[in-house]
């Protein structure tokens, strides 16, 4: 695919500025009808990298009469446009984006699995870092008092290193600066490019005339520092895209259609229409929203409810796209197109939530609109002032370069990334992985924390808590039946049996129950022996009447599994998914920080309310769908709250994206982990208040860093303009300001008792596991 010129690029080339009928038809075909004559078009804009890029594109598109709305998503590097084709031709959209200095592509022409820009940044970073280190060695030798011949030789060697390095590593900034300058705009890359080029040219000139000072180290070191910030920022945004990719991958690409004559053919998911019949086998995910018309099976509906217990599906059951069929083959009839399915809606919600985050403006980006022209004007005035009034144009050039170098936003650019780097390391030591640095800033403003239940506040693994009827022999027989199922209750029952030394046959892998065993989806297990029929499962299936014995307590949070013999109740087993050990103190710590706490769950009312009461959570909501959770978060946001979502299920992914910040345990579903900004690698909820405390400290540190950068400029700029600072000293001052900002960020490595406690616990756990591994086998 060619990417050499502005315009829409994909398999076919479109002529920007020369609309053709073919181009317009291609863009219309790529759009989706919304109704009321409106269409929605989504295009890739791979070159956007800052708030200025976003505002420029959105502002230029808003000028078009045909455009109703336009939003740029910085993480996915896409622009979504709602337009009325009756008010103009689609090619006007591509022209507007191209005129803003940005490339634009059809999504079909973009390889989502490759990140060429990251490779470019890493290569530029590596080259500039290597070159900066080598040039600095020569500079130190010159500063140490090298004679004129040695000095000139080292200057020329530095030039041979710096010129190709700047030409290669500086392309990222040069292209950006040239692009905006072509259209009469400025951004923060313009002063960077000017300072680097002028200092390089001036250094070559000074070297050619045998001057004592050259500034090759300033040019290359400046590039190196700024590339660090740009690379880290790009990597964080690419990680944010993983959630939507993983969610989209849940749906199969193809399906089998059952034709009216009974024959079958393979079709694309995009070609499925309502009314089509499809066969689904065990282990396959439902591709579209549908209704079961034949067959019985169990299904994993955690994508919808977040609960781990499989549900019975039978003819008449409605299923949503993404549901996993666990046992038995079924046939379904499609009720929605793939682009209108539950999965598609979840992806759309996540993209909408991410799009709203793209409006978040970092302080450095907001300052760029004023900072960049101010720097250029200041350097120009210094040049003209010293040239006209002083008459020494050579001195005027040196002073203007010093102004550009000393005011280059290196400290400003590092103020945020360095805090993110130090914070990420601090969190990692405590067992918390930070995926999105911008989320650390949003975390500092959190006023309301929302928790999912299963797998977040609870362990997510049901355990056997009691046996109401029967004896050890009945327990062993139930465990023998349970060995033939992967149901969570069966697994818990077998684990309990293995932990019970009396059940020797189960521990050795032998069946106490030796008859033929079958599993009935959604009901339980059945076995036959000489004495009759044994069943393990739901009460209504195991026996028609409980005869008043061991009737389940409807107010209990525990779930019951029955063992029956020939329809008579023999034993009942109670299972409970308990709260994490530190859930209650974690909730108390959050409240102590002045935060409000809510519980949102897809589970039923009794276990949700009981857990909320035990943990001291006043606001608990149950039987919620993913859309309900998102709506609840949005309602909190409308009331002025900044929301932190803590969840683990696939069904929590849209809510995780809708919140200002999000956390998920390492045991979370893949999509849940991808959608979250922070991953808790230990079963340790105290990490939530600890992370919030660190975020608040980090926000304070960022403000201090900006204060240091501003104070540095207030002192250094007047000195540079007055001619008291040479370009070489300006380079040293610029580097010193960066070091000062870095040292201030390093303070975050100390303090925060909660994280220190996590770190000690993690270290103790590692030592314990290591000791266990070193123990000799008995």
Active site residues: 452
Q: Residues in the chain, how many?
A: 778
Residue 279 burial (CB < 10 Å; 0-12/13-18/19+)?
middle
Strands 290-294 and 254-258: unpaired
Answer for the pair 47, 53: CB distance below 8 angstroms, yes or no: yes
**Strand residues in 269-374 grouped as ranges (E):** 277-280, 290-294, 297-300, 311-313, 318-319, 324-325, 330-334
Strands 297-300 and 311-313: antiparallel
Contact partners, residue 368, CB within 8 Å, separation at least 6? 50, 51, 52, 187, 188
CA 483 – CA 487 distance, rounded (Å): 10
CA 439 – CA 16 distance, rounded (Å): 38
Q: What's the longest Cα–Cα distance across the chain? A: 114
Token code pair at residue 502: 């009396």
Answer for the pair 311, 301: CB distance below 8 angstroms, yes or no: yes
Helix (H) or strand (E) holding 308: none
Helix (H) or strand (E) holding 35: strand 32-35
- DSSP string of 88-121? S-THHHHHHHHHTT--EEEGGG--TT--HHHHHH
Closest CA to 177 of 187, 162, 168, 167: 187
- Angle ∠(694,695,701) on CA atoms, nearest 5: 90
CA 468 – CA 563 distance, rounded (Å): 11
Contact partners, residue 251, CB within 8 Å, separation at least 6? 269, 285, 287, 321, 322, 338, 341, 343
**The dihedral formed by the CA atoms of 201, 203, 209 and 213, expressed in degrees to the nearest 10:** 160
Tracing tokens 């000072």 back to the chain, one arrives at 213
- 3-state secondary structure at position 3: coil
CA 45 – CA 358 distance, rounded (Å): 14
- 3-state secondary structure at position 501: coil
Sheet with 661-665: strands ordered across: 432-434, 678-680, 661-665, 643-646, 448-451, 596-600, 619-621
Task: Count CB-CB contacts under 10 A for residue 567.
Answer: 12
Strands 264-268 and 78-83: unpaired
**Strand residues in 269-411 grouped as ranges (E):** 277-280, 290-294, 297-300, 311-313, 318-319, 324-325, 330-334
- DSSP string of 578-639? PBPTTHHHHHHHHHHTT-EEEEE-SS-HHHHHHHHHHHT-SEEE-S--HHHHHHHHHHHHHT
CA 459 – CA 68 distance, rounded (Å): 47
Answer for the pair 190, 371: CB distance below 8 angstroms, yes or no: no
């Amino acid at each position: 695919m060619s990417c050499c010129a502005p315009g829409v690029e994909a398999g076919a080339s479109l002529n920007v500025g020369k609309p053709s009928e073919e181009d317009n038809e291609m863009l219309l075909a790529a759009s989706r009808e919304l109704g009321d004559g409106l269409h929605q078009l989504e295009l890739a804009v791979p070159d956007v990298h800052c708030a200025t890029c976003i505002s420029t594109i959105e502002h230029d598109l808003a000028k078009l009469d045909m455009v109703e709305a336009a939003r740029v998503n910085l993480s996915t590097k896409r622009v979504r446009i709602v337009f009325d084709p009756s008010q103009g031709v689609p090619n006007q959209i591509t022209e507007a984006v191209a005129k803003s200095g940005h490339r634009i592509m059809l999504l079909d022409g973009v390889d989502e699995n490759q990140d060429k820009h990251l490779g470019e940044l890493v290569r530029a970073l590596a080259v500039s870092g290597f070159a900066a280190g080598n040039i600095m060695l020569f500079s130190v030798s010159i500063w140490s008092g090298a004679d004129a011949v040695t000095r000139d030789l080292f200057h020329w060697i530095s030039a041979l290193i710096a010129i190709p390095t700047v030409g290669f590593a500086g392309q990222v900034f040069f292209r950006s600066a040239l692009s905006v300058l072509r259209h009469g705009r400025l951004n923060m890359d313009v002063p960077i490019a000017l300072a680097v080029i002028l200092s390089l040219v001036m250094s070559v000139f000074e070297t050619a005339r045998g001057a004592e000072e050259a500034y090759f180290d300033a040019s290359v070191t400046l590039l190196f520092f700024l590339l660090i910030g740009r690379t880290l920022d790009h990597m964080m945004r690419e990680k944010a895209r993983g959630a939507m990719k993983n969610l989209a991958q849940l749906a199969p690409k193809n399906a089998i259609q059952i034709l009216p004559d009974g024959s079958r053919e393979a079709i694309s998911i995009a070609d499925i229409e309502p009314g089509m019949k499809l066969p689904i086998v065990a282990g396959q995910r439902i591709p579209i929203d549908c209704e079961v018309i034949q067959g019985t099976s169990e299904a994993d509906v955690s994508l919808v409810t977040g609960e781990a217990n499989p549900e019975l599906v039978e003819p008449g059951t409605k299923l949503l796209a993404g549901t996993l069929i666990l046992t038995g083959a079924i046939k379904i009839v499609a009720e929605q197109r793939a682009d209108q399915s539950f999965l598609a809606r979840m992806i759309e919600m996540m993209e909408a939530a991410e799009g709203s985050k793209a409006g978040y403006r970092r302080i450095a980006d907001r300052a760029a609109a004023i900072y960049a022209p101010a720097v250029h004007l200041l350097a120009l005035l210094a040049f003209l002032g010293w040239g006209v009034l002083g008459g020494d144009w050579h001195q005027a050039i040196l002073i203007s370069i010093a102004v550009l170098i000393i005011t280059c936003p290196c400290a400003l650019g590092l103020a945020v990334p360095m805090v993110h780097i130090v914070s990420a390391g601090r969190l990692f030591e405590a067992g918390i992985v930070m995926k999105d640095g911008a989320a650390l800033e949003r975390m500092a403003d959190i006023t309301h924390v929302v928790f999912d239940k299963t797998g977040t506040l609870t362990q997510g693994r049901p355990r056997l808590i009691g046996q109401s009827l029967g004896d050890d022999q009945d327990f062993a027989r139930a465990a023998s039946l349970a060995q033939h199922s992967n149901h969570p209750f069966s697994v818990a029952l077998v684990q309990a049996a293995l932990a019970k030394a009396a059940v020797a046959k189960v521990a050795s892998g032998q069946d106490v129950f030796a008859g033929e065993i079958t599993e009935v989806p959604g009901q339980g297990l059945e076995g036959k022996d000489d004495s009759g029929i044994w069943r393990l499962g739901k009460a209504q299936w195991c026996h028609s009447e409980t005869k008043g014995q061991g009737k389940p307590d409807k107010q209990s949070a525990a779930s019951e599994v029955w063992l029956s013999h020939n329809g008579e109740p023999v034993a009942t087993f109670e299972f409970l998914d308990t709260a994490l050990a530190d859930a209650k103190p974690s909730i108390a710590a959050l409240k102590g920080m002045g935060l409000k706490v809510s519980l949102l769950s897809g589970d039923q009312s009794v276990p949700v309310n009981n857990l909320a009461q035990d943990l001291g959570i006043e606001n608990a909501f149950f039987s919620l769908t993913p859309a309900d959770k998102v709506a609840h978060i949005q309602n909190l946001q409308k009331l002025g709250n900044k929301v932190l979502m803590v969840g683990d299920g696939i069904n929590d992914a849209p809510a995780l994206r809708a919140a200002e910040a999000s956390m998920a345990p390492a045991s979370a579903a893949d999509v849940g982990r991808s959608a979250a900004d922070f991953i808790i690698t230990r079963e340790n909820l105290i990490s939530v208040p600890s992370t919030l405390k660190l975020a608040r400290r980090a926000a304070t540190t960022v403000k201090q860093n900006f204060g240091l950068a501003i104070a540095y400029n207030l002192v250094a700029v007047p000195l540079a303009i007055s001619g008291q600072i040479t370009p070489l000293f300006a380079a040293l001052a610029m580097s010193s300001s960066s070091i000062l900002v870095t040292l201030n960020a390093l303070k975050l490595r100390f303090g925060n008792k909660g994280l220190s406690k996590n770190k000690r616990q993690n270290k103790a756990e590692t030592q314990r596991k290591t000791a266990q591994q070193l123990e000799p086998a008995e």
